[in-house]
Chain A
């Protein structure tokens, strides 16, 4: 394990009754990078983060945080901040008391940053936790996650109830603060397009398995959508791997997994074909995630 490895897992496996939540997960996360942990509901993201933060344990395999197993290991746990999707705080606490509690636990806590973020989110700090709206609760989590400046910070879908403006505030402040205080950030999100440009590395998990583990820049431009006359599109794409196919009469639109050089682009132009870029979200959805639709909205809380 190199000096800069923050998180390393080997053969990590976790089963709940008959569901294999994590299936032989092998990952190495380097320090001082922003990771995106992407996948569908129930893919295993939260289970993985729970184990990495010592709030759960694997059936098999190891998870090392800075070389230590986190479970009940206080010196390691104090270096980690985990903000859950539905983070619970003591109901009768006032917001500023929740921050005071966090400040006692996280030795790198930056009170000034917390105050600035309170302003940015317009959070009423004298209100009790139980009186907060869903979005305000999420803001509390985001503020604790950022102001903790923990060496490893996990954000598990931290934006429930936050509107587009508030989410943008979160992303902007995250980039700014990360630039000044580099640390390891693992951001789990459904809103892939929103966070895509912030990520240095992308991990996609599906049905408990890692299906993509790659630098975000390597995925950008790794696929292209070719649109035009069906016969010409077919001629152009040849034997390339097809990720997705749409048709409308004689028109065809095919997403292929390939990087086109200038000559190929030129060729497409001469054949009268349109080339359009494929976003990270489209790429992940098309290339890695299983297509069976599930009901949206509910999420099993019982898994951790």
Chain B
């Protein structure tokens, strides 16, 4: 949900991106309106609009005049590609840093990941 770590419009954009990646919002599906987002998250409607507009600028959503916002065809693939690029920095780097602090070697780490992904 919404927290204080960064501007709310960015958080709204990320929430929608997550829903697109996970398939909750399918390609060509209609996205809730600005006012629905505002009411649901209890935020200023202008802020919600700013978050949605950012995704429109990025080409992930598009507007059908008089109807609403929809997920662009191909948006999930594009988002996944962008997230993969960030994966190394966001997840692998802190993981290896913590592992080396604890004296966990690369082989052991790999083994742990394998065990973890089996469950």
Partner-B contacts on A (CB < 8 A): 33-34, 171-172, 175-176, 178-180, 182, 197-200, 216-218, 220-221, 262, 266, 269-270, 277-280
Contacts and interface: CB of A to CB of B under 8 A. Distances in A.
Nearest to B36: A179
A193 to B, nearest CB: 9
B47 A200 contact: yes
A217 B39 contact: no
Interface stretch (B19-27, B57-65, B76-84, B89-97): B89-97
Nearest to B43: A197
6 contacts: A175-B45, A176-B35, A179-B38, A220-B6, A221-B4, A266-B94
Contacts of B8: 197, 217, 220
**Interface class of chain A by DSSP:** helix
Contact of A220 (B4, B34, B45): B4
B45 A179 contact: yes
A186 B42 CA distance: 17
B90 to A, nearest CB: 8
Contacts, number: 66
B106 to A, nearest CB: 18
B93 A266 contact: yes
B119 interface: no
Contacts of A280: 4
Contact of B97 (A34, A176, A270, A278): A270
Interface of B: 2-9, 34-35, 38-39, 41-47, 50, 89, 93-94, 97
B94 A200 contact: no
Contact of A172 (B6, B39, B94): B39
Contact of B94 (A171, A216, A220, A269): A269
A116 to B, nearest CB: 15
B35 to A, nearest CB: 4
A221 B5 contact: yes
Contacts of B44: 34, 175, 197-200, 216
A279 B4 CA distance: 5
Given A179-B35, A217-B9, A269-B94, A200 B42 contact: no
B102 to A, nearest CB: 12
A280 B39 CA distance: 20
Given A200-B46, A217-B7, A279-B4, A175 B97 contact: no
A266 B89 contact: yes
Nearest to B7: A217
Nearest to B35: A179
